[in-house]
Structure 1
Amino acid sequence: MRFRTWPRTTGRTRRFAMGSTVLLAVAGMNAPAVLGFAGDRYHRYEISRPAYKAQYGFWQTVRIPEHFRVNAIHATLLRTGKVLIVAGSGNSRQNFDAGTFRSLLWDPVRNTYKLVPTPADMFCGGHTSLPDGRVLVAGGTLRYEALKSAVTRAAGTMRIRNEDPDHGHVLPRGTVFTAPDGRAYRSTARAVVPPAVKTTVRAADRSGRRRPQVRVTASEQHVFVEAVAEGGRYVTATPAQYAIRGLTGADARNLYGMGDRMTLDKQDFQGIRSAYEFDPVTEQYEPVPDMRFARWYPTLTGLPDGRVVTVSGLDDTGRILTGDDNEVYDPRTRTWAKAPDHYFPTYPSLFLTAKGQLFYSGSNSGYGPATEGRDPGIWDLQRNTFTAVPGLRDPELTETSSSVLLPPAQEQRVMVLGGGGVGESPRSTARTDIVDLSAPDPHFTPGPDLPAGGTRYLNSVILPDDTVFTTGGSADYRGKHRSDILRAQVYHPGSNAFTPAADPSVGRDYHSEALLLPDGRVVTMGSDPLFADKDDTEPATFEQRVEVFTPAYLFHGDRPRLTGGPAVLRRGSAAAFTTPAPADIATARLMRPSSVTHVTDVEQRSVALGVTRSGGAVRLSVPGNAALVPPGWYMLFVTDRRGTPSVARWVRVV
């Protein structure tokens, strides 16, 4: 942890005042003379002082036993208060090849750990909490990318067609497709090919009379294939029909492959169709039906009725999904259905608005053309319309940016913070912009620049006192040139300004997460820099240290308490909660638990509750709008007049 340097006059005044305070305190307590401290030791002493903590907060490192350390790619706060940390293969080809997929359950209260059997490579999938507190995890990794220099077998997409209307077919991984010239290619995944579609139409016969006729339309499924042997002779750009080895008779006639190009080009990551629900009670993954489309880097967003819309991602051939493949998951029936069409780049930030629409902030991560799907806008799923929202500055620098629905959610304001250029661009921006979605003509207006300058991968966490804690990030792509930013700050929506917070000691860039804990602290984890040195010559390792930030509001004295009340709240109604000091309660907030990856957290929101006081209780009123308060489990915080929050109570909103 470094002592901050802020360019503004207020920062210089703060440093002088704090320095004077510490000098006086040292003299008063007969501590060792300041000149006797080594700089680092003195700094550690200084940031541990109560006055410093009360103004800037405090960081601590969590000591995780080596056996339980994982590469934190995804993190979700469960209704039990535990944190589900998903690594999957953890961006390690060695783990992937070995089938080593990991998930960790961390209990931040007891500081205990449990490794959870992980049935598939959930690395870079999507996830969100369901109304009953389970976590839906969908997609992940089928195949790691291969750079052109490493590709030795020609490969491409094979479209499998089935003309049999009575039977579907399952082709296992390793199915061989043979071209008329004898060149053969082997599938890298299982393919489920449905029956052909049979329809009845009325058509004129030879006599001119219109009679019903049956028309059969071949079904189609695709699969990635690679040559059975190495070498350039398997490269082809000639479309061809491929026979499927092992089929005979009618099956061989009805089922065949159609291939266009087989190349030795770079091969992108590929996604899986698998989906699971994680049960926080049994602490196990339970399989649910596969998605229709494979996804790697998708976004899952909850809807007012508890269903989940799932968009974007790379499919099982490495191509980005085009937008006519969006899906909706219904947790009541555990089924997938088609969703309205719209194209988004991967990991788009989609926020549920109070009108039941989805707002795309422009934030995204990783894949997609630079000129498509980058513009912010409001997606109306009922009408399937997309209305652009103008005014975002540096619109070409939204990749790896952070977005947050500012507290309280009733104000319907979304903030975009930082970001960078597409792909491996070194560019980043300090821009923050804010849009008021409740305005008749929503448009972005400038917010304050980020104090550290251009920042990618910034994590943003809503706090119970209606502020937003932001931390980490890097100035360059994946922390190149040692550009991790060891700074943190708090954004205040009321004053539209940042104030400094204590500095973290661990850099966080790509594959990092931060989320609010029920006790009001913030945990940060993960980070996957490319290099370990400023010259970018030494490979870096995944950051497995975990840090917890205790905000300044927890150093201001006793905390308010709720001592009793219901576990279920109904929208549009009120409920009484007992408390030792009702007059001290200033605000109440329902805070949806985070489910975050790649600095994308579209679920966190803070909903203001009405507060009335009577006797030894406070009566809290819940808004009636399901689009504002989607069904599910929430942390209920109350804060006193100093902004100090209680420890959260878990409640379910129905």
Structure 2
Amino acid sequence: MARQPSKNTGAPSGKTGAKARKKLAGVAAIAVLAGLNAPAAVGFAGQTYHQYKISRPAYQAAYGSWAPVDIPRAYRTNAIHAALLHSGKVLIVAGSGNEQRKFDKGSFDTVLWDPRNNTFKKIPTPDDFFCSGHAQLPDGRLLVAGGTARYEQLDGEVRRAGGGMRVKNENPDKDVVLKKGTVFRSPAGVEYVSRFDVTVPRARRDQTVTYDRAGVMRPWRTTVTAGEARVFVEATEKGPRSVTGGQAQYAIVGLRGEDAANTYGLSEKITLDKQDFQGIRAAYEFDPRAERYVPVDPMDKARWYPTLVGLDDGRVLAVSGLDDVGTIDPGDNEIYDPRTKKWTPGPKRYFPTYPALFLTQGGKLFYPASNAGYGPADQGRDAGLWDLGTNTFQKVPGLRDADETETSASLLLPPAQDQKVMILGGGGVGESKRSTPRTAVVDLKKDNPVFEDGPDLPQGTRYLNSVIMPDDTVFTTNGSRDYRGRSASNILKAQFYDPKSNTFREAASPTVGRNYHSEALLLPDGRVVTFGSDPLFDDQRNTKLGHFEQRMEIYTPPALHRNGKNRPALGKGPDTLDPDGRATFTTGHPERVAQARLMRPSAVTHTTDVEQRSIALEVTKAGNSVTVTAPKDSTLVPPGWYMLFVTDAQGTPSEAKWVRVP
């Protein structure tokens, strides 16, 4: 940890010097008092004036305003994930919240917040969803998959050797279930304990036909291929005696007879090296009506730090993550079908953890190279279009500071019909101090899309939160210059990006700094809420360990200060678009409706929000009603619940109506 050297000053010596010292001491005392008091007075006066200035209606009409959320102590939590539900409530998921003591106790948090009434409710949380993935489903449920099976242990902290154990099952008649705590014994008598339950599938029996040289069929040949699963094991004894780099066959203590003969372990590398976080296979749907988690079939692969992205047919693709032994997934992606509640293999492709993947018109996924962390610097860092059908990847060039895309923000710019994706800020791989102010935009409608530079952010920024607004601007806020806010590098700034002019304009500054593990999302009333932050240190010298930020702030945009009491409004209407993509709503002032947008609700974590998108709607007016029509293209408008906003000519949004796209 860096420490600042102290400074010494000299003084006159001798008799004359004594008088000078006495006089100097008096002057110094006055100077010290002035030095102590003046900045405080100036600071207090400056702060008082600043508070006065930002509270003025004219200021708020130009820049917006921030206000804290009153959270009862019992409901304060470490907001790792946040998702807006079609009930209008926000699901705030912490799991163990990056606190190992909570993990060790099995204490996992989820809080459901109702922003309209500012009420809170604790939700029983069945697994540790810390660093899971999530996606909106067509019926309005939220799919949550993956999370934490084990916290990391750094180099020097590991006392018991650990690693992967491949478990073989040569019995073709039944699966074998080994519970957490199963003991594996080496030929030398060294024992290792499994840390998780594991189901080892039955062996596969294959029969083939062969023919002799005369063409006569010979008897069937039967081959048995052992079923296999992998589980993390840890030595029962501390120290280096349990370290092994070679493969050996391990007996499973407690198995008898045929089970013992057919089921055994094969060690992988078991060491005292750093042990990374490990993922879980569990998957759940959160039901907004019952307000509870409902278990569904688990994933085939354990995942920690995965991305879940909705596809045009309502299924969800799970990508990347650390597995059950802490190794980054090599590309064994899988797809969840909400109709069957089951997972099937998806196209194989490697990405670093929490990759940002956006569904584009036509069904391809675009990867702007934004990601949130684990993976080597030379793999999976190129931006490009991924065709799931052919499993091909078309690289997209032109990105400046291409080695600083980790912890960057990215989004499908509004309206989605324009098919432009923006990347904002980011930093070097891992704990790098480097960060970039770079923004860039790519037009995916072009035959050979290339990134083009956008306007720079005010400074290099990691962990920037970016939210699409109903008036087609993008609100960006917070972040830090350095990794996890090191050296007091939080950025207390906010701005709007205008895609039409390709420019930023200033917004009111937040009062709470936010970096790693922070989120922001659009509320149905047109405001933006920000959560979380997990700084590495709490001071500029990096000597005090950081504390998780549990305060929440709400930003009210300028338009709601200018016209909030006279905003456009929609009355009665359907909650589902008809087969032609239309819905008609009553309104007292149809002439005030200038445009309409369908906005998909967010599911955000680690600066990654692949759900949010805004679709421009056709607007027709008749009498005291407004009819909106959405494009009939599920790759542009995936099935699910959306917020329907209308705005006036000044960009003032209505409160949202919830509408389902079947």
Q: Report the TM-score when normalising by structure 2.
A: 0.92
Residue 551 (structure 1) aligned with residue 550 (structure 2): no
Residue of structure 1 equivalent to 2:34: none
Q: Which amino acid aligns with 1:631?
A: P
- Tell me what 1:483 maps to: 489
Is 1:618–2:626 an aligned residue pair? yes
**Structure-2 change in CA distance of 1:267 and 1:106 (3 Å):** same
The amino acid that maps onto 1:382 is G
Offset of 1:332 from its aligned partner?
0.8
Instruction: Give 1:130-529 correspondences, 5 Å limit.
Output: 130-204=137-211, 209-211=216-218, 212-323=220-331, 325-451=332-458, 453-529=459-535
Contact 1:571 1:653 in 2 (8 A): no
Counterpart Cα distance in 1 of 2:307 and 2:257: 44
What is the CA–CA distance in structure 2 between the aligned matches of 1:83 and 1:130, rounded to whole Å? 15
Which whole-Å deviations, capped at 9, do the CAs of 1:126-154 have from their partners, x for residues lacking one? 00110111000000000000012110111
The reply to whether residue 48 of structure 1 matches residue 55 of structure 2 is: yes
* Deviation of the 1:207 alpha carbon: 8.6
Q: Deviations over 1:70-128 (max 9, x none)?
A: 00000000101000000000000010001110000111110000011000000000001
Alignment match, 1:116: 123
3-state SS of paired residue (2:269): coil
Output the CA distance in 1 between the equivalents of 2:582 and 2:77.
42
- Residue number in structure 2 paired with 1:11: none
Q: Distance in 1 between matches of 2:317 and 2:216?
A: 47
Change (3 A) 1:231 1:351: same
Relative distance call for 1:571 and 1:494 in structure 2 (3 A) is farther
The question of whether the paired residues in 2 share the 8 Å contact of 1:571 and 1:623 is answered with: no
Match of residue 531 from structure 1: 537
* Pair 1:63 & 2:32 matched: no
Report the CA distance between 1:38 and its aligned residue.
2.0
Q: Cα offset for 1:206? A: 10
The residue correspondences of 1:571-582 to structure 2 (distance < 5 A) are 572-582=580-590
**RMSD over aligned Cα, in angstroms?**
1.4
CA distance in 2, matches of 1:306, 1:399: 29
**Residues of 2 paired with 1:574 and 1:635: CA distance?**
14
Cα distance per residue 1:603-653 (max 9 Å; x no partner)? 000000001111111121110101100000000000001110000000111
Structure 2: distance between partners of 1:257 and 1:163: 12
C-alpha separation between the residues in 1 aligned to 2:79 and 2:207? 53
| 1:564 Cα offset (Å) | 1.6
Q: In structure 2, how many angstroms separate the alpha carbons of the residues matched to 1:459 and 1:89? A: 23
Give the Cα–Cα distance (whole angstroms) in 1 for the partners of residues 512 and 584 of structure 2.
Answer: 42
Q: Determine if contact 1:425/1:477 at 8 Å carries over to the other structure.
A: yes
Distance 1:35 1:179, change over 3 A: closer
Alpha-carbon shift at residue 439 of structure 1 (Å): 0.9
| Map of 1:563 onto structure 2 | 571
CA distance in 2, matches of 1:581, 1:208: 86
Query: What is the CA-CA distance between 1:205 and the residue it aligns to?
Result: 6.5
Q: Confirm or deny: 8 A CA contact 1:609 1:620 kept in the other structure.
A: yes
Equivalent position of 1:20 in the other structure? none
1:549-577 alpha-carbon deviations (Å, 9 max, x no partner): 00011012210000121110146432221
Contact 1:103–1:118 at 8 Å: present in 2 too?
yes
Match of 1:652 in 2: 660
Query: Residues 505 and 610 of structure 1: is their aligned pair in 2 closer, same or farther, counting only changes over 3 Å?
Result: same
Residues 207 and 369 (structure 1), Cα distance of their counterparts in 2 relative to 1, 3 Å cut: same
State the match for 1:129 in structure 2.
136
1:198 Cα deviation (Å)? Answer: 1.3
**Alpha-carbon distance in structure 1 between the residues aligned to 2:48 and 2:298:** 55
2:576/2:583 contact within 8 Å kept: no
Alpha-carbon distance, 1:239 to partner = 1.2
Q: After TM superposition, give the deviation of residue 591 of structure 1 in Å.
A: 0.2
Shift of 1:514: 0.1
The answer to whether the 8 A contact 1:572-1:625 is kept is no
**1:8 match:** none
**Residue aligning to 1:27:** none
Distance verdict in 2 for CA 1:35–1:94, change over 3 Å: closer
Could you tell me how far apart the structure 2 residues matched to 1:404 and 1:309 are?
18
Tell me the CA shift for residue 163 of structure 1: 1.0
Give the distance between the partners of 1:174 and 1:361, measured in 2 at CA: 42
Q: How far off is 1:354 after superposition?
A: 0.8
Tell me the equivalent position of 2:113: 106
CA displacement 1:501-540 (0-9 Å, x = unmatched): 0000101100000000000000000000010111100111
SS of the residue corresponding to residue 135 of structure 2 reads: strand
Q: What is the alpha-carbon distance in structure 1 between the residues aligned to residue 635 and residue 580 of structure 2?
A: 12
Task: Give aligned-pair identity as a percent.
Answer: 62
Distance in 2, Cα, partners of 1:83 & 1:637: 18
Preserved CA contact (<8 Å) 1:571 1:625: no
The 1:439–1:181 alpha-carbon spacing in structure 2 relative to 1, beyond 3 Å, is same
> What amino acid is aligned across from residue 544 of structure 1 in structure 2?
Q
In structure 2, distance between residues paired with 1:630 and 1:326: 20
Which letter maps to 1:93? Q
Q: SS in structure 1 opposite 2:426?
A: coil
CA distance in 1, matches of 2:512, 2:48: 18
State how far apart, in whole Å, the 2-side matches of 1:171 and 1:575 are: 54
* TM-aligned CA deviation for residue 41 of structure 1: 1.6
Residue 29 of structure 1 aligns with which residue?
A: none
* Change beyond 3 A, Cα 1:175–1:208: farther
Do the aligned residues in 2 keep the contact of 1:571 with 1:622 (CA within 8 Å)?
no
| Aligned-partner SS, 2:373 | coil
2:396–2:451 Cα contact (<8 Å) kept: yes
Equivalent residue, structure 2, for 1:638: 646
Cα shift at 1:237? 1.2
Q: Distance in 2 between matches of 1:366 and 1:385?
A: 24
Q: Tell me if structure 2 keeps the 8 A contact 1:570–1:622.
A: no
Could you say which residue in structure 1 is the equivalent of 2:38?
none
Tell me how far apart the structure 1 counterparts of residues 357 and 546 of structure 2 sit (CA, whole Å).
32
Secondary structure (helix, strand or coil) at the match of 1:45 reads helix
Structure 2 unaligned blocks of 5 or more: 1-40
Give the partner amino acid of 1:528: D
Distance (whole Å) between structure 1 residues aligned to residue 451 and residue 209 of structure 2: 54
